[in-house]
Structure 1
Amino acid sequence: MTAGLGLGRLVPGLGDALAKVTVTSVSLPIALGLLVMMYPVLAKVRYDRLGTVTRDQRLLIPSLVLNWIVGPALMFALAWIFLPDLPEYRTGLIIVGLARCIAMVIVWNDLACGDREAAAVLVALNSVFQVLAFSLLGWFYLSVLPGWIGLEQTALDVSIWEIARSVLIFLGIPLLAGFLTRRLGEKAKGRTWYETKLIPRIGPFALYGLLFTIVVLFALQGDAITSQPLDVARIALPLLVYFALMWAGSMAVGRAVGLDYPKATTLAFTAAGNNFELAIAVAIATFGATSGQALAGVVGPLIEVPVLIGLVYVALAARRFFPQTTPATGPVISPEGSARV
């Protein structure tokens, strides 16, 4: 983050140059970073286990409720509570709340030892719902609901194709690549070779892609962030509350419905994370690149990244509050966090 801010401030024109490198209005550097980040994690997924995840109603139902009812409603409420006098920033935050996770959450989940297969299923479901429901929810939360309760109304005009394009780029490409890598790799060399030889080689690229994406994000907006610190702080406050409430509440729901630690962790991170690529793209396309809505969209991931990295450590510390399970193979994790084979 420091490197990105420094580059954005010290290298003249870097942010503008990065912003101009686009493919169909999608930032190419950010897209490449995200694809490199997500591919290794999706290559680790055991796709033959997905059927058991989809049958787990204790996971699927809470996830859909938290993502598509609780999350947007909470962000709407926080935006109006904290930013009643700043309509542009408020609208930008509401758009962030409508864009549910499909990208970085896969890495947060993996770092926190969540259920990889469950994360793949929930992210795929969020992607489908995003294409179908984003425009409708935007119309409801920005035009209909404020009118019902006597608040200021805002219009949001975004096509289904814009949403579908984001989903196809940021999820479809790495998902297909990960699936084909596992399918062809296991077929050619066997599962043992795939798990013990190939995965350790490609695994580190997830973190390389994550670090690259963070540097590019901060470099793109370094000037705006450092020149408007008070505005950024006001936008950041409701975001901090949102991430904390969504993550902690989802973790508690997972524990209450009887999920084990990996699935409860997956539930929490997929509910707390947001699809900032889509939120920024929609804000820029609808209100302009220099609008307050776009700035609010950009501040979203800049707050989400450090907060959710911190929550990875909180999740790992919370393992002791969940029933301990002993897998058939692999490490056994004690309540204190130590591992033995």
Structure 2
Amino acid sequence: MSAPTTTDLRADTGLGGFERFLTLWVTLAILAGIGLGLLVPGVFEQIADLEVAQVNLVVAVLIWLMIYPMMLKVEPDCLSDVRHQPKGLFLTLGINWLVKPFTMAALAYVFFRYVFSEFVPTAEADEYIAGMILLGVAPCTAMVFVWSQLTNGSANYTLAQVSINDLILVFAFAPIAGLLLGVTDLTVPWATLVASVAIFVVVPLAAGLFTRSSLIRTGGPAAVDGFAARLKPTSIIGLLLTVVLLFGFQAETIIDQPARVLMIAIPLLIQSYGIFAIGYGAARSLRLPFDIAAPAAMIGTSNFFELAVAVAISLYGLGSGAALATVVGVLIEVPVMLSLVAFANRTKGWFPASSESTDARPGAVPVE
């Protein structure tokens, strides 16, 4: 079966001109963020200070705007999807905890011990390696809902994947990170971990379930789908504003240390596309439905950057190379993931029919 064309995808989704050129708007948002970060750094500093357990509240609100429409589709018995399709969960967990941390450590070591060894002092290289390892051991919690929504992934299955992954994260993060970093007494910032799960999963899920229940009582499932469709522009605006903030926060670093940012970005890019290729290829071999395959591949590709940044700062300091490496991971994540969303949407025909009916659900966004 051939992959759907851009024209087919547009016809299926009924997207307006604004959403069809999402990549262009993201590019402009990146430029706007860097420009505003240089022009009015004080504003971004004040926004950056609005934190709870190192989780920025403004970014949290914007992420709520992005993932709330997907939470509307979640059904209370979502774990039944995992019981009926266990392969997707096993694939996600295998990549997250048996592959991703170790490939990231290997790439970081190769690039900063050999490829870039003439350009980066050993002490700084060690910190860059540490920061990238922390990213590799922190699979995504929040933004995967966004990427799943943009590929029309199963809301129920995505929630189950994230929930089980978070449970494992509580027990596996410190041992694996400590092993790869050579630190036996690694201290996990539990406040950041708990706050992130509560803010990015529990709160929007509770809001979504409450709204869904209310809408079903008054108008049935069609009312839920219609409301979610009307919220789609809000979700895209939330994504663009998040990009502006993330790049605004780090505008000076991007301008002052472009070479270091680029050197860190190269292995991170290889890791991101490589992990996605492994997950997506394995999902195709397992013949998973597309609405399970796409989120399963993307949850390992995306990162829990709040946790990685917090641990890097606590271990190595705010101005350390480790902190810089985790921040570079934040900066490349949105552009990289949008490119993978575009690829997934164009290769939907590689996979069997979806695991649940999608005729009435809002369509995916074909990123160009």
TM-score, normalised with respect to structure 1:
0.88
Which of 156, 159, 169 matches 1:130?
Answer: 169
CA distance in 1, matches of 2:106, 2:177: 14
Matched-pair contact (CA < 8 Å) for 2:284–2:293: yes
| Contact persistence 1:91–1:142 (CA under 8 A) | yes
* Aligned-partner Cα distance in 2 for 1:155–1:226: 35
Task: Decide which of 43, 55, 68 is 1:14's aligned counterpart.
Answer: 43
Q: Which residue of 1 aligns with 2:131?
A: 92
Matched with 1:141 is 180
CA drift of 1:190 comes to 2.4
User: Residue in 1 aligned with 2:15?
Assistant: none
* Structure 2 equivalent of residue 230 of structure 1: 259
Which of residues 106, 112, 120 in structure 1 aligns to 2:145? 106
The one of 168, 189, 197 equivalent to 1:167 is 197
How far apart, CA to CA, are the structure 1 residues paired with 2:133 and 2:289? 32
Give the deviation of 1:53 after TM superposition: 2.7
SS of 1:278's equivalent? helix
Q: Distance in 2 between matches of 1:182 and 1:55?
A: 23
Residue 116 of structure 1 pairs with residue 146 of structure 2? no
Whole-Å Cα distance in 2 between the matches of residues 234 and 15 of structure 1?
A: 26
Displacement after TM superposition at 1:193 (Å): 2.0
Higher relative contact order (CA closer than 8 Å, sequence separation 6+): 2
Q: Secondary structure, in 3 states, of the residue corresponding to 2:250?
A: helix
Q: Map of 1:235-314 to 2, 5 A cutoff? A: 235-314=264-343
Structure 2 CA distance, aligned partners of 1:175 and 1:117?
Answer: 11
Instruction: Mark the CA change 1:8 to 1:49 in structure 2 (over 3 Å): closer, same or farther.
Output: same
Summarize the Cα distance change of 1:324–1:190 in structure 2 as closer, same or farther, 3 Å threshold. closer
Q: TM (normalized to structure 2)?
A: 0.82
- Hey, what's the Cα distance between the residues in 2 that align with 1:70 and 1:181? 38
Residue type of the partner of 2:213? Answer: R
8 Å Cα contact 1:4/1:219 also seen in 2: yes
Gap change, CA 1:102 and 1:45, over 3 Å in 2: same
RMSD: 2.2
Change (3 A) 1:154 1:133: closer
1:137-186 deviation per Cα after TM superposition (whole angstroms, max 9, x unaligned) = 2212111xxxxxxxxx6863224343222222222211221122212322
Structure 1 residues 24 and 250: CA distance shift in structure 2, 3 A: closer
Q: Distance in 1 between matches of 2:180 and 2:250?
A: 27
Q: 1:60 to 1:18 in 2, by over 3 A?
A: same
SS in 2 for 1:140: helix
Alignment length (residue pairs)? 323
Partner of 2:240: 211
State the alpha-carbon separation in 2 of the partners of residues 54 and 181 from structure 1.
Answer: 26
- Could you tell me how far apart the structure 2 residues matched to 1:33 and 1:299 are? 20
> For residues 295 and 35 of structure 1, what CA distance do their matches in structure 2 show?
26
Structure 1 consecutive aligned stretches of length 4 or more whose deviation exceeds 3 Å: 46-50, 153-156, 159-162, 323-329
- State the distance in 1 between where 2:269 and 2:319 align: 23
Secondary structure in structure 2 of the residue aligned to 1:158:
coil
Equivalents in 1 of 2:35, 2:184: separation in Å? 35
Change (3 A) 1:179 1:219: same
Match of 1:185 in 2: 215
* 1:95 Cα deviation after fit: 0.6
Give SS of 2:208's match: helix
Match of 2:108 in 1: 79
Task: Tell me the CA shift for residue 286 of structure 1.
Answer: 2.9
In structure 2, runs of 5+ residues without a counterpart are 1-29, 114-121
Q: Distance in 1 between matches of 2:316 and 2:208?
A: 35
Amino acid of the structure 2 residue aligned with 1:109:
S
CA distance 1:128–1:14, shift in 2 (3 Å): same
Q: Does residue 321 in structure 1 map to residue 350 in structure 2? A: yes
Partner Cα distance (1:160, 1:21) in 2: 19
Letter in 1 for 2:280: M
Question: Which residue identity lines up with residue 103 of structure 2 in the other structure?
Answer: L
Please tell me whether the aligned partners of residues 37 and 251 of structure 2 are also in contact (alpha carbons under 8 angstroms): yes
Measured in 1, the distance between the counterparts of 2:291 and 2:65 equals 24
Q: What amino acid does structure 1 have at the position aligned with 2:178?
A: W
Equivalent-residue separation in structure 1 for 2:107 and 2:151 (angstroms) = 27
Could you tell which deviates more after superposition, 19-28 or 59-68?
19-28
Unpaired runs of 5+ in structure 1?
144-152
Percent identity between the aligned chains? 37
